[in-house]
Chain A
Amino acid sequence: MKIRVLVRLRPGIMDVQGAAVQRALVGLGFGDLRDLRVGKVVEVEVDAPDAGVARARVDEMCKKLLANPVLEDYTIESLETPSLAATSAVR
């Protein structure tokens, strides 16, 4: 089962990397840019009988290592069938 995890800085946490990238883009002529934040994508493949079990395992991985709850939120999405691919906010 293929799962994609999106790890983002929580709202209100300053994203200095995003701010630097934003400044660079404004300098490249994107004066219409209003906000930009940088996150991480983690693509995971797990042995699991169904997408529900796979998501639960990946949720454990996020809690144990992939995201730091002090700074980050995460969302988990299945890359298997379109009907299961809806993104759900976990935190």
Chain B
Amino acid sequence: MKFGVVVFPGTWSDCDFHHVVSEVLHQPVKYVWHRERDLGDVDCIILPGGFSYGDYLRAGAVAGRSPVVDAIRDFAAKGGLVLGSCNGFQILCEAGMLPGALQRNECLQYRCQSTHLVVDNVETPFTRGLRAGQVLTMPISHGEGKYYADAPTLAQLRAGKRIVFRYATPEGEVTRAANPNGSLENIAGIVNEAGNVLGMMPHPERAAETVVGGTDGLLMFQSLLGSLVEDGTFLKR
């Protein structure tokens, strides 16, 4: 599977994603500069975390209207896979590719910590190797991660099973105390209607090697690659 990692001025997780794809997963990967209008030959586009364009005006607002995002919109419309993490999630919402918005954390603090995520939807390409109710451990690192959507939009997300990850306790219970940023219904990640565009605040690329404290993020990449299915892990769980 060929990956493209988008780089805006101010992106900071681009090298981490590139490293995981090339050095851990051994898949072809290239950087895509924010001025590009042609993504080239890729199967999955990654919008990494950071502070694109300084997050001026609103987090992800300027990036959400940049040339590369128009190309990503066309790519997604044709079924291309798009994974936005942290600032990437904010950009996808600002670009209108995912519904809702990300607001300043309710605690007003920047939160950089480990979180537990309960998997609600295992029918996306990003989670198909996981088990419903499985709890993943991944870090967050953001000041604006409080997901908000109006009541009709939230109802659509629920009805379409588009809420993929929720902040939870280590046992998988969705509680207020486990919610690090005040996100509506503890939402940590959602998909678009077609299921090929995923936005999430946590960082899977920072949980992909034991040396950094965990490998649960790798499960998402392995779901994408189908390797959990091919080697039978999926069947044995």
Give A residues with C-beta under 8 Å from B: 13-14, 16-17, 20, 64-66, 68, 70-71
B101 contacts which of A17, A66, A68 (Cβ < 8 Å)? A68
Q: Which residues of A contact B108 (CB under 8 A)?
A: 16-17, 20
Q: Which residues of B contact A17 (CB under 8 A)?
A: 104, 108
Give B residues with C-beta under 8 Å from A: 57-58, 61-62, 65, 93-94, 99-101, 103-106, 108, 148-150, 182
**Do B57 and A71 touch (CB < 8 A)?**
no
Known: A16-B108, A70-B148, A71-B148. A65 touches B65 (CB 8 A): yes
B106 contacts which of A16, A65, A70 (Cβ < 8 Å)? A16
Q: How far is the CB of A70 from chain B (nearest CB, A)?
A: 4
Q: List 15 A-B contacts (CB under 8 A).
A: A13-B103, A13-B148, A14-B182, A16-B103, A16-B106, A16-B182, A64-B65, A65-B57, A65-B61, A68-B61, A70-B93, A70-B100, A70-B148, A70-B149, A71-B101
Q: CA separation between A61 and B108, bound complex, in Å? A: 29
Known: A65-B61, A66-B57. A16 touches B101 (CB 8 A): no
Q: How far is the CB of B99 from chain A (nearest CB, A)?
A: 8
* B103 and chain A: residue at smallest CB distance: A71
Q: Which residues of A contact B65 (CB under 8 A)?
A: 64-65
Q: Which residues of A contact B150 (CB under 8 A)?
A: 70
